[in-house]
Amino acid sequence: MRRIALLLPLALATVTCGPSAEDQAAAAAAAAAAVEDSLQAVSMAAYDASVFDTLTWESPEKRMERGQQVYNFSCSRCHGPTGLGDAGFVRQGDTLRPPSFQEPTWAMAGDIDAIRRAIAVGTAEGMPHWGLEGLKPEAVDAVAAFIIARMGNQG
């Protein structure tokens, strides 16, 4: 019994002297950032803009139809149903605030190449790396065209 009494303070000191909750949270955030940086690097290395040069569509209407399907399924939860960036999607406790496609100062307004790249590569701010997460080039192209034609500022 005396040994237990002597070891108990040592055990308690070990438990209470471990990393604080703040240190654990900071370490988890650093690990998540490292993973995100790796995903960003992989998606940028995998991106090939020339793949869009070989795409053909049965008609412009089919392209818009596919773009709307992709937007509704993959994009609207963050960007909102009308592209205002107001959907209020929460990721890891933070509400995402993506740009509005209708804002006159939107950096990618009317630039289909920039939109395709952003969709495929993603961002560290929360935009998924759709090129790595399952959107094929046809879907990326269609949704980029849909955003420009139906939602975005024409620049």
Can you give the residue range of the structural domain that contains 138?
Answer: 48-155
CATH number of the domain enclosing 138 = 1.10.760.10
Instruction: Tell me the pLDDT tens digit for each residue of 69-106.
Output: 999 999 999 999 999 999 888 887 888 888 899 888 89
105 domain residue, yes or no: yes
* Residue among 112, 123, 114, 118 nearest 145 (CA): 112
Shortest CA distance to 58 belongs to which of 152, 119, 142, 147?
Answer: 142
Q: Total domain count for the chain?
A: 1
Q: Pick the closest to residue 57 from 150, 138, 130, 116 (CA basis).
A: 138
User: Is residue 25 in some structural domain?
Assistant: no
87 close to 80: Cβ distance less than 8 angstroms:
yes
In a domain, 5, yes or no: no
1 in any annotated domain: no
pLDDT digits (tens, 9 = 90+) for 28-56: 666 666 666 676 777 677 788 898 999 99
Whether 32 is in a domain gets the answer no
